[in-house]
């Protein structure tokens, strides 16, 4: 911008004479430079609990006991539209299931249960029950003003002895029936800054139980999951934590909600090698995840997503790892040419060298129990404690523990792994497909070549195994074995056209990197502790998948 500056004419005088001096105007030219700064503060919310193992009581038959232990829930959230906390029981079943809000016996035969209810003494019939209660913690700062934390109300389900009275609206600030589906228990509508307290805003939880005169002796256990959602108008889906990972990732519910803007904050709130869980928006299945020693977030169990062709799942760049351009997602979608098969007697349509059509197989609820050995025969299945399915010729469960980390998940050929209907155009060694069947904002690891030397950045199998001291020149792992660490790679075998093989002997996980027109790079581990992060295998073979955050 040009500016013109004019000096005002001056008139000088003395005491004896009047004279005038005219100063010539001077034009000065200058360029203005405007230096602009923009600071984006991403939404960052988390919920943590202290005292979660303090709810223990010894209650005799016919006795009511209140205030059983205290947990302090601390919420941090800078969303100007507020946040809400939902609660649900999930004991013994998924949220919304038959036993989701019951206390379940854990030691005696028969596994008796205790319903949720409000009875404080014997009724007709005499029914055991348990209830929950919330309170605003005294150190939550402003409890009445613009930052006030509100405890909500919800219908209280009547006990069998009170069925005629029906359900009434009751606040969670007094004892309330534990909901068997997510119910909002507290919220802050706005003004969610934490200036009133250095410790966030806090709620306390406690429980009560009445034990009937006929309740069988046992140890009864239950859990209540508390979930923070933002903004305050958000509502949760029915999310069931995996059996082996019951701590949600702080500030997240879904895998797809992890973005480049919140990833650093999310990771900073996680403990390295500790297990958490997240859900996949496409089917609400939950997965154990962990911040591993490469500094990134990985699934610590195999992907179990069933590819569908009936339109019930949308495969686009908002839900699936499609259209990545190296920086962000561009608009992309995928209509799969074939769905995941559920029976092993159906031969895949690809041959040894084809691998251009997406094929995948769901073996059902199969687990590998941590010992070497194959579970492909009825006798092996029985030895492992499983139940043989003679119709589908498979072992329905090869671990009685149901440990989520040991779940075999689904098997995908490479074309399905990279979410394409024809992968024949990807045939040059080292080319990265740059998309996958993983949830959006997650991807397949890279399959690096060992002759390229040690890796210096996250994102590959080799970089990960180097951080744990594996994959030396001898390719041998050191103890403890890899499935006993936070990484939890298991010997899940593979699927070859019409049969599941080598479970307990080896494990192979796809990378996104091409080997040639017939093979792709993968991670390989076997029961002899041999590990190689640059293994190549036929692209038509069904292997497992572990996704990591982009």
User: Phi then psi for 206, rounded to 5 degrees?
Assistant: -150, 170
Helix (H) or strand (E) holding 333: none
Query: Is omega for the bond preceding 231 within 30 degrees of 0, making it cis?
Result: yes
What is the spatial distance between Cα 317 and Cα 550, in angstroms, rounded to a whole number? Answer: 13
Per-residue pLDDT, 502: 83
Higher pLDDT, 465 or 26: 465
Tokens of 241: 């934590």
Asked if residues 313 and 330 have their Cβ atoms less than 8 Å apart, the reply is no
376-405 pLDDT, tens digit per residue, is 667 776 766 667 777 766 666 666 567 899
Tokens of 344: 């092993």
Residue with tokens 């596994």: 111
DSSP notation for 501-524? E-TTTEEEEEEEEE-SSSEEEEEE
Tokens of 303: 């992907």
Least confident residue range of 14-18, 30-34, 307-311, 507-511: 14-18
Q: Given the DSSP bridges, would you call strands 442-443 and 548-549 parallel, antiparallel or unpaired? A: antiparallel
62-120 pLDDT, tens digit per residue, is 999 999 999 998 888 888 888 999 999 877 666 766 678 899 888 876 678 999 999 99
| 72 beta partners | 50, 204
User: Phi then psi for 148, rounded to 5 degrees?
Assistant: -60, 140
Residues with Cβ within 8 Å of residue 180, at least 6 apart in sequence: 88, 89, 95, 96, 97, 100, 101, 116
Helix (H) or strand (E) holding 66: strand 64-77
Q: Given the DSSP bridges, would you call strands 113-116 and 129-136 parallel, antiparallel or unpaired? A: parallel
What is the spatial distance between Cα 87 and Cα 470, in angstroms, rounded to a whole number? Answer: 42
DSSP 350: -
Asked if residues 55 and 204 have their Cβ atoms less than 8 Å apart, the reply is no
The top-scoring range by mean pLDDT among 11-20, 174-183, 480-489 is: 174-183
The alpha-carbon radius of gyration of the chain (Å, integer) is: 31
Please give the biggest Cα pair distance in the chain: 129
Torsion (CA) 272, 240, 359, 549 in degrees, nearest 10: -30
Q: Nearest Cα to 101, choosing from 156, 179, 167, 170?
A: 179
Q: Where do the domains of the chain lie? A: 45-240
> Residue 4: pLDDT above 60?
no
Tokens of 187: 């919220």
Asked if residues 509 and 545 have their Cβ atoms less than 8 Å apart, the reply is yes
First to last CA, the chain: 44
Residue 346 backbone class (left: φ over 0; alpha: ψ -120 to 50; beta: rest): beta
The model's pTM is 0.65
Q: Nearest Cα to 546, choosing from 412, 431, 398?
A: 412
At 406 the three-state DSSP class reads: helix
403-421 pLDDT, tens digit per residue, is 899 899 999 999 999 999 9
Residue with tokens 């440990």: 403
């Amino acid at each position: 911008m040009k500016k013109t500056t004019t000096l005002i004419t001056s008139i000088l005088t003395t005491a004896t004479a009047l004279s005038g001096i005219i100063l010539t105007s001077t034009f000065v030219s200058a360029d203005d430079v405007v230096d602009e700064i923009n600071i984006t503060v991403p939404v960052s919310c988390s919920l943590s609990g202290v005292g979660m193992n303090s709810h223990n009581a010894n209650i005799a038959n016919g006795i009511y006991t209140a205030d059983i232990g205290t947990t302090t829930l601390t919420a941090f959230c800078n969303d100007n539209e507020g946040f809400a906390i939902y609660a649900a029981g999930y004991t013994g079943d998924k949220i919304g299931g038959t036993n989701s809000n019951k206390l379940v016996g854990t030691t005696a035969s028969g596994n008796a249960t205790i319903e949720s209810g409000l009875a404080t003494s014997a009724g007709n019939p005499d029914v055991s029950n348990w209830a929950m209660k919330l309170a605003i913690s005294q150190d939550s700062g402003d409890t009445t003003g613009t930052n006030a934390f509100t405890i909500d109300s919800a219908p209280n389900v009547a006990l069998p002895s009170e069925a005629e009275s029906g359900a009434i609206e009751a606040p969670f600030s007094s004892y309330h029936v534990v909901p068997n589906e997510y119910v909002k228990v507290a919220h802050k509508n706005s003004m969610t800054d934490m200036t009133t307290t250095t410790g966030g805003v806090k709620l306390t939880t406690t429980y009560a139980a009445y034990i009937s005169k006929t309740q069988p002796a046992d140890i009864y256990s239950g859990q209540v999951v508390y979930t923070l959602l933002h903004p305050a108008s958000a509502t949760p889906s029915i999310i069931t934590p995996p059996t082996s990972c019951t701590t949600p990732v702080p500030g997240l519910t879904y895998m797809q909600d992890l973005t480049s803007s919140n990833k650093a904050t999310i990771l900073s709130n996680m403990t390295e090698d500790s297990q958490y869980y997240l859900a996949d928006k496409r089917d609400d299945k939950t997965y154990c995840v962990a911040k591993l020693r490469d500094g990134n977030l990985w699934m610590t169990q195999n992907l179990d997503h069933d590819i569908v062709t009936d339109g019930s799942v949308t495969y686009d760049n908002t839900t699936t790892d499609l259209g990545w351009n190296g920086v962000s997602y561009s608009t992309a979608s995928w209509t799969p040419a074939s769905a995941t098969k559920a029976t092993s007697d159906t031969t895949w349509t690809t041959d040894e060298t084809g691998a251009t059509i997406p094929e995948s197989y769901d073996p059902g609820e199969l687990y590998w129990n941590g010992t070497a050995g194959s579970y492909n025969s009825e006798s092996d299945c029985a030895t492992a404690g499983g139940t043989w399915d003679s119709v589908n010729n498979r072992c329905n469960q090869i671990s009685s523990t149901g440990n989520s980390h040991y779940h075999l998940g689904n098997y995908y050929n490479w074309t399905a792994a990279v979410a394409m209907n024809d992968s024949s155009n990807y045939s040059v060694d080292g080319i990265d497909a740059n998309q996958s069947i993983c949830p959006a904002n997650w991807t397949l690891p890279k399959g690096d070549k060992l002759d390229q030397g040690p890796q210096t950045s996250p994102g590959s199998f080799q970089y990960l195994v180097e951080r744990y001291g594996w994959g030396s020149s001898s390719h041998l792992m050191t103890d403890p074995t890899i499935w006993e660490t936070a990484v939890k790679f298991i010997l899940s075998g593979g699927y070859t056209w019409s049969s599941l093989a080598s479970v307990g002997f080896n494990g192979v996980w796809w990378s996104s990197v091409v080997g040639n027109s017939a093979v792709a790079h993968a991670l390989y581990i076997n029961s002899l502790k041999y590990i190689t992060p640059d293994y190549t295998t036929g692209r038509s073979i069904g292997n497992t998948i572990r996704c990591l955050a982009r």
